[in-house]
Amino acid sequence: MRLPDSLARFHSFLRQVARLSAPYFSASDERWRARGLLAAIVALNLGAVYMLVQINEWNRVFYDALQNKDAAVFWRQLGRFTLLAMVFIVIAVYRFYLTQLLQLRWRAWMTRELMGRWLHGQAFYRMELARYAGAAEPTTSATGLPHPGQREPDNPDQRLQEDVNLFTAQTVGLSMGFLNAVVTLASFVGILWGLSGAFSFTLGGQAITIPGFMVWMAVLYCTAGSVLTHYIGRPLIGLNFEQQKREADFRHHLVRVREYSEAIALDRGEQVEQRNLDTRFGAVLANYLRLIGKQKQLVGFTNLFGQAAVVFPFIVAAPRFFSGAIQLGELMQIASAFDRVQGALSWFVDNYDSLASWRATTERLTSFEAALVKQNQATAPDQQAPAAINSGIIEAHDLTLQLPTGATLLQGAELRVAPGQHTLVQGPSGSGKSTLFRALAGIWPFAQGQVGLPAGTMFIPQRPYFPDGALRDALAYPEPASRYDDAQLQAALRDALLPALAARLDERDNWTQKLSGGEQQRLAIARVLLRQPAWVLADEATSALDVPAEQQLYARLRALTEQAGGALVSIAHRPSVAAFHGRRWQFVPQADAAQARYRIEVAAQDA
């Protein structure tokens, strides 16, 4: 039997929540502690509802004492209320504390789990490549949300930092709120039924009696409110999703301006960046205006609904009170019970905005988790990078390289570098030289064939990465700096023509911003000189250096690899670099690019 679309979407949403939630409570190393905290929170919620039942009963006795002017009962009930209030406060405090503790521990576990999967097997790199591939815009569901899994999620930093926090907090808070509403309803509906009495009227000469009249009025009142709330607040789901996306896009561009501040300043690009930031911020504000417009409608209705609920039970029960059928204590108990039942039934109304935000957060986190599963499994044949097997030489057999767009750069290439065969890689810009290095490293997913790489081979990329922190950590990265003594670290810096940094090993800074382009390249070479590998692949590693410095550093790199029994492979265009290589791989454009754009010609350097 096919479910209606709205129920099918709701069922799909619950499955998403269960998929994200189940691992922590069923398979994590913290599952027993998590279950214990959850059980304690449930018990405290049940205890809080029990105390509310006791306070409801207290209402009847207390207000009857007021009406009867019974001072002894009045003062006794004040003492009882003090005890009930103190117990309720203790329950409320520990319910809050344990709930926050569960959210914190769940967030910590879930963040580390997703972060580990994001970093495992270069999934973070593959996801960025997949986004670069230019996937089609995703289709949207009836709620205005993209269907998960159709496109690589943007801003993984936001998913890990913000969405995990929101999801754990909202899931615990809303689920415990729903449980509290259900238990409250079950506890108070019987009380309200017993206090309501029967409502009798005549219709067409027929006497009709409705037992538990106040219960039915509460159900009718809340059903009407829930339906209206859904139709008023439904657009909030898509708007919340879009708001998070636009906020992240704006924040991402702000970070890029900070990272490339020098280049922007040199290009006098302030006005362009101002326009770009204004455009993104304008998109944030435009969507936020639509969001608060819908929230205004929802807040207006929910406040009207809530205020009307204050007097509604008195209006319905007033005829019985004025006729003398019930006393003031019963009237107040009816009002209290009605408020609890109405509050439980109105849980959907009161939490609609939070539910909309939860739905959007779950959709974003589900799409991120689905992308991680896809990248970690790497099931698609055209998404599998050929693994770089441990070989005594650098080699590639039947190697085919493609761009993320599907265009073929190379096809069936056969390459080999033996010890001492220092090789220069040259070719037109965009021909795939850097892509060849990525394939040799085993990280390029758009490649087929077999590649071999000696253990301990080091790569020097065009844009080296340096973690923020102490200079010694940036130099030794990714190894721990404690593996080397200060003398080794300082010697590597001096050999890389950075003597001024040798005395600053413990200085902490953002080294990518602090150092010039040439200094960054020399620091990357210092890493190689520190670790002393036999095989080095350098991608434009000295493009920012002057010729004398370049020649001096290449002489040291070549001497290092020869002494260790390996070879140096470089991508470079300067004749000064070519002098340190005896062979050349030349990317040559194909006359007929139907199969591949380039082929590689292998020749001696002096040819």
Whether the pLDDT of residue 316 is over 80: the answer is: no
Whether the pLDDT of residue 607 is over 50: the answer is: no
Q: CA 148, CA 367: separation in Å to the nearest integer?
A: 4
Whether the pLDDT of residue 387 is over 80: the answer is: no
pLDDT of residue 385: 59
Q: Which two tokens stand for residue 49?
A: 């509802």
**183 vs 530, which has greater pLDDT?**
530
Torsion angle (degrees, nearest 10) of CA 457, 458, 459, 463 = 160
**Within a 10 A sphere around the Cβ of 142, how many other Cβ atoms?**
11
Long-range contacts of the stretch 407-414 (C-beta < 8 A, 24+): 407/597, 408/595, 408/596, 408/597, 409/435, 409/596, 409/597, 409/598, 410/436, 410/596, 410/597, 410/598, 410/599, 410/600, 411/595, 411/596, 412/449, 413/449, 413/599, 413/600
Whether the pLDDT of residue 144 is over 80: the answer is: no
Q: CA 84, CA 95: separation in Å to the nearest integer?
A: 16
Q: CA 37, CA 98: separation in Å to the nearest integer?
A: 7
Q: What is the pLDDT of residues 256-311, one digit of tens each?
A: 787 777 567 766 778 888 888 888 899 999 998 988 888 888 888 877 877 777 77
83-to-66, 89, 151, 222 alpha-carbon distances in Å: 20, 10, 57, 33
pLDDT of residue 106: 94
- Mean pLDDT of all residues belonging to the chain: 83
CB-side exposure of 299: number of CA atoms within 13 Å? 6
337-to-65, 218, 314, 408, 542 alpha-carbon distances in Å: 19, 10, 12, 72, 78
Q: Which two tokens stand for residue 69?
A: 């002017």
Q: CA 453, CA 433: separation in Å to the nearest integer?
A: 17
pLDDT of residue 558: 94
* Of 8-22, 497-511, 559-573, the least confident: 8-22
Average pLDDT over residues 347-354: 78
* Residue 427 per-residue DSSP state: -
pLDDT tier for residue 6 given thresholds of 50, 70 and 90: low
Whether the pLDDT of residue 147 is over 50: the answer is: no
Q: CA 280, CA 288: separation in Å to the nearest integer?
A: 12
User: Do 536 and 568 contact (CB within 8 A), yes or no?
Assistant: yes
Please state whether the peptide bond connecting residue 319 to the residue before it is cis, i.e. omega within 30 degrees of 0: no
* DSSP conformation letters of 313-370: HHHHHHHHHHTTSS-HHHHHHHHHHHHHHHHHHTHHHHTHHHHHHHHHHHHHHHHHHH
Q: What is the pLDDT of residues 127-136, one digit of tens each?
A: 777 765 554 3
User: Do 340 and 221 contact (CB within 8 A), yes or no?
Assistant: no
Q: How much helix, strand and coil, in percent to the nearest 5, is found in the chain?
A: 65, 15, 25
Nearest residue to 368 (alpha-carbon basis) of 244, 272, 282: 244
Element (H, E) at 536: strand 535-539
Task: Report residue 344 CA to chain centroid gap.
Answer: 32
pLDDT of residue 263: 67
Q: CA 160, CA 112: separation in Å to the nearest integer?
A: 9
Q: CA 200, CA 478: separation in Å to the nearest integer?
A: 81
Average pLDDT over residues 513-534: 92
Per-position b or e across 364-401, b if 16+ CB within 10 A of its CB: bbbbbbbbbebbeeeeeeebebbebeeeeebbbeebbb
Largest distance between two CA atoms of the chain: 115
Kindly report the three-state secondary structure assignment for every residue of 7-72.
Answer: HHHHHHHHHHHHHHHHHHHHCCCCHHHHHHHHHHHHHHHHHHHHHHHHHHHHHHHHHHHHHCCCHH
pLDDT of residue 87: 92
Q: CA 391, CA 371: separation in Å to the nearest integer?
A: 32
* Residue 393 per-residue DSSP state: S
Q: Which residue has the tokens 């600053």?
A: 504
The percent of residues above 70 in pLDDT, for the chain, comes to 88
Whether the pLDDT of residue 21 is over 80: the answer is: yes
**Within a 10 A sphere around the Cβ of 70, how many other Cβ atoms?**
14
User: Do 458 and 533 contact (CB within 8 A), yes or no?
Assistant: yes
pLDDT of residue 246: 87
Q: CA 308, CA 228: separation in Å to the nearest integer?
A: 15
pLDDT of residue 145: 42
Give the three-class secondary structure for 539.
strand
Q: Which two tokens stand for residue 182?
A: 């259900």
Q: Which residue has the tokens 């390289």?
A: 401
What contacts 175, CB < 8 A, 6 or more positions away? none
Nearest residue to 579 (alpha-carbon basis) of 562, 560, 557, 554: 554
Q: Where are the beta strands (DSSP E) in 348-432?
A: 388-390, 394-402, 408-417, 423-426
* Of 25-39, 137-151, 207-221, 552-566, the least confident: 137-151
Q: Identify the sign of the CA torsion 410, 414, 418, 424.
A: negative
378-to-371, 398, 482 alpha-carbon distances in Å: 10, 21, 35
* Of 28-32, 121-125, 435-439, 461-465, the least confident: 121-125
**Within a 10 A sphere around the Cβ of 453, how many other Cβ atoms?**
23
Q: CA 151, CA 156: separation in Å to the nearest integer?
A: 13
pLDDT of residue 548: 92
pTM across the whole model: 0.70
pLDDT of residue 101: 93
pLDDT tier for residue 378 given thresholds of 50, 70 and 90: low
